A and B are shown apart, each in its own frame.
Chain A
Amino acid sequence: MIDIPREELFNPGHPACPGCGAAPSMRLALKALGPKTMVVIPASCWSIIAGAHPSFSLEVPLLHTPFLSAAAAAAGLKAALEAQGDQETLVMAWAGDGGTYDIGFQGLSGAAERRTDMLYVCYDNEAYMNTGGQRSSATPLGTQTSTTPGGKLEEKKDLLNIIVAHGASYVATATLAYSHDLLKKFRKARDKKGFRFIHLLSPCPTGWGFPEDKTITMARMAVESGAYHLMEWEGEGWQTTYHPSFQVKVEDYLQAQTRFAHLTGEELQEIARRTAEYWERVSRSE
């Protein structure tokens, strides 16, 4: 067990939807990172959660950018701090899956390849939730979204190993239901140099279709069923940081969400099988 700091760098009264997973994820992340942090956020739900002018929900500086600019703008901010002699302040890009896997992918690749000394966080709610839930390349197989009404035909992109392949110094997955694991990873990321990447599974009640008081439950079911793996990469292969109980089945996790309600029992089983395969493939990659 580790201490969770009492200091709050994310204030209540923000305009996130009830049950939003992305909001408390930032709260935990900033508790780990501390006040010497600057945040860069592209178009995303978090463009709203941070507050509309003149409201501001964070206690650290924030630069809002266009959708595809987060990684490059964060790299520029870091360069500006270095040129002015500030080696201490951490620059964190904080983007959704659309801004990371899709439209921001090129800038992300560039920043990672240049080994930019920064932290990039993708809070992944597995679709374009801020525009009402359209498919992204992070959307899981079979998911019904407003642009895949019959269910998505392709598997989720293996972004984690794409980032690893860029030579990132630290890559990790985390989710808010396992807050100690999450905090440990953000602290580790803070204390490392080079390009660091954290992927957060961020349940979305409106987009996934579950009651707004079940956000933590949903994240927990994802991990305990093996639909999401908690792991980290420090240069020598993936290390699992939490071993799930498997007392929950992937089918149970899927059936708890209306975005999978159109699927037949057979399809659910097939998705469960392929989800297990997906994570085995991802976590084995070297």
Chain B
Amino acid sequence: MLVDFPYPSSYLCSMAESRLMLGSEALALGVKLCRPQVIAAYPITPQTHIVECLAQMVEKGELSPCRLVTVESELSSISLVLGASAGGARVFTATASQGLALMHEILHWVAGMRFPVVLANANRALGGPWILYMDQTDSLSQRDTGWIQLYCASAQEALDMVPLAYKIAEAHLLPVMVIMDGFWISHTMEPVEAPSQEAIDAFLPPRRDELKLDPDNPQALGAPSPSDTFYQIKREIQEEMEQVLEAFPQYAQEYNQIVGRSYQAVERWFMEDAQVALVGLGGITGTARYTARVLRDKGIKAGVVFPRFLRPFPTYEVRRLLESVETVLVMNRALSPGMGGQLTQEVKTALYGLSHPPRVVDWMAGLGGIDPIPSSMEEAVKKALAGEERIWTSKPVGAKR
């Protein structure tokens, strides 16, 4: 069955100027346009293309005077950008899966120190057993580190989220993860329109903040803190996170004016009259948009909600979008064993306190490379409407060796 091209029309307008590229190439191009000054490179599937692309750009002199340092582990890549950010540079690194998990301690440090680091993560499951394929356990496990998380549902978004990430990071002094599906986006070619360097320069001026080491004004960054100072630091991070959600529409509008593509903190499709909402992060929402149309042809009014931010979680917007639907099917691609889908917990929290809240159904939509095809998504919706509370896909389809 053929359905409409599921992307916003603004993508189509510029098709003439777009070219095919991998999601990872698109993201690397986004980084290039932001004029990074220090990049830490360490490979891990499915992120490797990103740092390879950047290394080639540096080799060709396209990123001068950027320093790209090929470190020996993700512990050092994140530590290196931490140090470089303390030196006032605009920094970038990329990772996935085990690499992001390995960074965990330093992720807390970067956020606690308010360094505006931007990191790309190509989602991949965590072993053991060894698993190469995509799920979102890696990024969702870093939920509480104090990093902003921005999810992408296409290669175009992987490019566009990078300038937005730097804009947010440097305005609010909070680190940002730009997250895309490993393989489904990182290794898939899609038409991508690259903004001009002039456009990104207009959107994103050079990093200028006081939070850096300066021999003329010697300060210690990260010194042991009294409890009340530490408490205040954490409070300020929470309050700044809230500010990010308030400010994002303005950044998105500015980006739209300069570049011509518009984004929202919570993307939504067909939600005006939806009875059942499919909620997910990243590429899965593309399948959901297709499935929603198929379901609508069959008389089920389905809609799709994509919170682009996992942190700060757009609680009120999600609540507003979901409060009038009957059933919410959360499409989880990360499991908190002993509790259920991680995203389900976020959605339930957003709905807490409604006098007539929708029924929230916990679907393990994809783990370790299982990714729902429209038929399994349709099956899940039907099970949800039939009253099931937790759904495991009966015949999961995914990558096999």
Contacts and interface: CB of A to CB of B under 8 A. Distances in A.
A35 B215 contact: yes
B75 A83 contact: no
A13 to B, nearest CB: 15
A36 B83 CA distance: 17
A47 interface: yes
B218 A65 contact: no
Contact of A50 (B37, B69, B81, B223): B223
Contacts of A55: 223
B362 to A, nearest CB: 36
B223 A72 contact: no
Interface in A52-76: 52-53, 55-56, 58-66, 68-69, 71-76
Contact of A77 (B76, B77, B84, B229): B84
Contact of A66 (B72, B80, B88, B109): B109
Nearest to A47: B224
Nearest to B75: A68
Contacts of A75: 69, 71, 76, 80, 83
B223 A52 contact: yes
Contacts of B229: 53
A84 B87 contact: yes
A73 B72 contact: no
B87 A81 contact: yes
Interface string B354-386: 000000000000000000000000000000000
Given A58-B220, A79-B67, A83-B38, A106 B73 contact: yes
Interface string B54-75: 0000000000011101111101
Contact of B220 (A51, A76, A85, A109): A51
Interface in A17-58: 35-38, 40, 47-48, 50-53, 55-56, 58
B67 A83 contact: yes
Most B-side CB within 10 Å, residue of A47, A68, A69 = A69
A67 to B, nearest CB: 8
| Interface bracket on A | 35 or more
A56 B220 CA distance: 7
Interface in A109-160: 109-110, 113-114
A82 interface: yes
B103 to A, nearest CB: 11
A35 B218 CA distance: 9
Interface string B74-95: 0111011111111111010000
Contacts of B204: none
Contact of B221 (A60, A63, A107, A109): A63
B293 to A, nearest CB: 48
A66 B89 CA distance: 20
Contacts of A179: none
B236 interface: no
Contacts of B73: 106-107, 110
A42 B38 CA distance: 21
B277 interface: no
Interface of B: 37-38, 40, 65-67, 69-73, 75-77, 79-89, 91, 105-106, 109, 213-215, 217-226, 229
Given A69-B83, A106-B76, A107-B72, 7 more contacts: A62-B213, A62-B220, A62-B221, A65-B79, A66-B109, A76-B82, A80-B83
